[in-house]
C-alpha cells in the first residue's frame, strides 16, 4: 500500500474520532443528561489538563523506550474503550473523570501521529514540507466527515456518537501497528535532565518582554479557541424549542452547519503567506482577534431563519480566527527561539493555548454562563453569552496592539506551508 495513502488514512481516522463527539457532546450533556453548565466547563477543561503533561510524558517514553507507532496504537485502543463507556456513566462528575482519562489517551496521539508521519516520510527520502500538508488536510476532512455522520444519523444528542468515535479509535489503534516503525531515538546513555525532557527549559523565553507578552496573549486567546466547539451545537439545537425555527436545516443538522468552520479553516491556510509577507505577524494576530470578535458577535445576532447568513458567515470567519493565530504564532516562536529549544518552545506555545488557556476558558465560561446567563428554569441567554465572548475578544485586540511590540521585517519572514501547530483543533 502506498505510504502517502497509509498516512492519509491515519490522519483521517485521527480526527474522525474527535469530530464524532467534540461539537455534539454539548447537546448530549444539556439536552439528554440535563446537567449544569459549570460541570460542562469541566468536561472541556479535561483537554487542557491532559495537554499540560501527557504529550510531554508520552513523547519522552517514545523517545526512550517504545516505538512511537506502537504507543500511538495502544493509546487509541485504550481511548476507544473509554469512549465506549461514556454512555454508561450517569453522573456529571463521573463523566468528567472518564473524559479526563480519555483525553489523557487522546491528546498525546496528536503529537505522536506527527512524529510517526514525519519519520516515515523521511525514511522514504520524501520532503516533509512538501509531502506532509496534503496528507494532513485529510485530517480536517475526517473531522468534517465525522460531524456529518453524527448529524445525518441524528445522533447529536444520543450516546451513539461515542460508539462511533470508539469504533474509529479502536480501528485506528489496530491499524497503527501496521505503520512503518518509528523506534526510540535517544540512546540509553543520554543524560538529559527531566527539565529538558519535559520541555520546561523553554520557560526561559519569559525573560524576554516581547515573548512574555506573546505567551500571555496566547493563553488568553487559547481560552476562546474551544468556546464555539463547546457551545455552538447546543446553541443551534435549542432553537428546536421555538416553533418558528424547529424545521430549519440549521436546527435539524447543527453539526453540518458547524462543519463549515472546518471547511473554512482548510481554505484560509492558503491566504496566510500573503498576509504574513504583506502585513507581518503582529497585524495577522490582531486580525485573528478581530475575527474572533466577529465569530462570537455574529452568533449573538444570528438565528436559523432570516439570520442564518450570520451563522454561516461566523463559521467562515472561524477559519481566519483559528488559522491566523496558530500559524502566525508558531512562526513567531520559531523565529524568536534559540535553535536548541525550538521544539520545546513550540510545546510551550501549545501548553499556553491548549493547556492553560483551554482550562481557564472552559472553567470560567461554564461558571459565567451558569451564574449570569442561565434562567432558573435552565433557559440560556445566548445573545448575552455570545456578546460577552465577543467583547472579551475585542478587549484582547485593544490591549494586544499597544503591548506587543514587534517590527515587521518582510525579508525575514519565512512562511510555513502547513499549520504545524494545528493540532489544537482540526
Model pLDDT for residues 232-278, shown as the tens digit of each residue: 878 888 888 888 888 888 888 887 888 888 888 878 877 777 887 78
Q: Where are the alpha helices (DSSP H) in 337-410?
A: 342-350, 358-372, 382-403
C-alpha cell read off for 209: 518582554
Q: Let me know if 173 is exposed, middle or buried by CB neighbors in 10 A (0-12, 13-18, 19+).
A: buried
List all residues 6 or more positions away from 217 whose beta carbon is below 8 Å from its beta carbon.
Answer: 285, 396, 399, 400, 403, 404
What's the rounded Cα separation, in Å, for the pair 308 and 248? 10
Higher pLDDT pick, 339 / 146: 146
Mean per-residue pLDDT over the chain, rounded: 83
Which among 334, 355, 425, 418 is positioned nearest to 18, based on CA atoms?
425
Q: 337 falls in which pLDDT band (50, 70, 90)? A: low
For the residues 199-224, what does the mean pLDDT come to?
Answer: 80
pLDDT reported for residue 227 = 79
What's the rounded Cα separation, in Å, for the pair 12 and 9? 5
What's the rounded Cα separation, in Å, for the pair 351 and 343? 12
List all residues 6 or more positions away from 191 whose beta carbon is below 8 Å from its beta carbon.
Answer: none
Higher pLDDT pick, 84 / 410: 84
For the residues 288-298, what does the mean pLDDT come to?
Answer: 95
pLDDT reported for residue 71 = 94
Which among 304, 308, 302, 353 is positioned nearest to 327, based on CA atoms?
353
Q: Let me know if 296 is exposed, middle or buried by CB neighbors in 10 A (0-12, 13-18, 19+).
A: buried
Whether residue 33 has pLDDT greater than 80: yes
pLDDT reported for residue 291 = 95
Domains detected in the chain: 1-186 (1.20.1250.20), 205-426 (1.20.1250.20)
pLDDT reported for residue 424 = 42
- Tens of pLDDT along 53-94? 888 788 778 877 889 899 999 999 999 999 999 999 999 999
How many other CB atoms are there within 10 angstroms of residue 242's CB atom? 13
- Tens of pLDDT along 89-127? 999 999 999 999 999 999 889 888 888 888 898 888 887
pLDDT reported for residue 40 = 85
Amino acid at each position: 500500500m502506498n505510504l502517502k495513502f497509509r498516512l492519509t488514512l491515519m490522519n483521517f481516522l485521527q480526527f474522525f474520532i474527535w469530530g464524532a463527539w467534540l461539537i455534539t457532546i454539548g447537546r448530549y450533556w444539556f439536552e439528554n443528561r440535563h446537567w449544569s453548565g459549570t460541570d460542562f466547563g469541566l468536561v472541556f477543561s479535561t483537554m487542557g489538563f491532559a495537554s499540560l503533561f501527557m504529550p510531554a510524558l508520552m513523547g519522552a517514553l517514545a523517545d526512550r523506550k517504545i516505538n512511537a507507532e506502537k504507543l500511538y496504537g495502544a493509546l487509541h485502543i485504550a481511548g476507544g474503550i473509554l469512549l465506549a463507556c461514556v454512555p454508561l456513566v450517569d453522573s456529571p462528575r463521573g463523566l468528567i473523570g472518564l473524559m479526563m482519562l480519555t483525553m489523557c489517551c487522546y491528546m498525546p496521539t496528536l503529537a505522536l501521529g506527527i512524529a510517526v508521519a514525519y519519520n516515515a516520510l523521511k525514511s522514504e527520502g520524501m520532503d516533509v514540507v512538501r509531502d506532509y500538508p496534503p496528507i494532513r488536510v485529510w485530517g480536517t476532512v475526517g473531522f468534517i466527515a465525522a460531524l456529518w455522520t453524527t448529524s445525518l444519523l441524528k445522533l447529536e444528542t444520543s450516546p451513539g456518537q461515542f460508539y462511533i468515535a470508539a469504533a474509529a479509535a479502536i480501528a485506528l489503534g489496530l491499524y497503527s501497528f501496521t505503520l512503518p516503525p518509528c523506534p526510540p531515538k535517544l540512546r540509553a546513555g543520554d543524560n538529559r535532565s527531566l527539565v529538558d525532557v519535559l520541555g520546561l527549559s523553554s520557560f526561559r523565553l519569559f525573560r524576554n518582554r516581547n515573548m512574555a507578552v506573546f505567551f500571555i496573549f496566547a493563553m488568553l486567546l487559547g481560552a476562546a479557541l474551544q468556546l464555539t466547539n463547546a457551545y455552538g451545537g447546543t446553541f443551534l439545537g435549542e432553537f428546536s424549542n421555538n416553533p418558528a425555527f424547529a424545521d430549519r436545516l440549521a436546527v435539524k443538522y447543527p453539526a453540518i452547519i458547524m462543519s463549515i468552520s472546518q471547511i473554512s479553516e482548510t481554505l484560509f491556510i492558503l491566504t496566510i503567506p500573503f498576509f504574513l509577507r504583506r502585513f507581518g505577524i503582529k497585524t495577522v494576530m490582531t486580525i485573528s482577534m478581530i475575527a474572533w470578535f466577529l465569530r462570537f458577535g455574529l452568533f449573538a445576532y444570528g438565528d436559523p431563519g432570516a439570520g442564518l447568513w450570520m451563522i454561516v458567515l461566523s463559521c467562515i470567519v472561524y477559519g481566519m480566527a483559528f488559522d491566523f493565530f496558530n500559524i502566525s504564532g508558531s512562526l513567531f516562536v520559531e523565529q524568536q527561539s534559540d535553535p536548541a529549544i525550538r521544539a520545546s518552545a513550540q510545546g510551550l506555545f501549545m501548553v499556553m493555548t491548549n493547556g492553560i488557556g483551554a482550562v481557564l476558558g472552559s472553567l470560567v465560561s461554564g461558571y459565567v454562563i451558569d451564574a449570569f446567563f442561565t434562567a432558573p428554569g435552565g433557559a440560556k441567554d445566548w445573545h448575552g453569552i455570545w456578546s460577552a465572548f465577543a467583547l472579551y475578544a475585542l478587549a484582547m485586540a485593544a490591549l494586544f496592539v499597544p503591548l506587543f511590540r514587534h517590527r515587521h521585517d518582510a525579508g525575514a519572514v519565512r512562511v510555513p506551508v502547513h499549520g504545524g501547530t494545528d493540532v489544537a483543533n482540526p
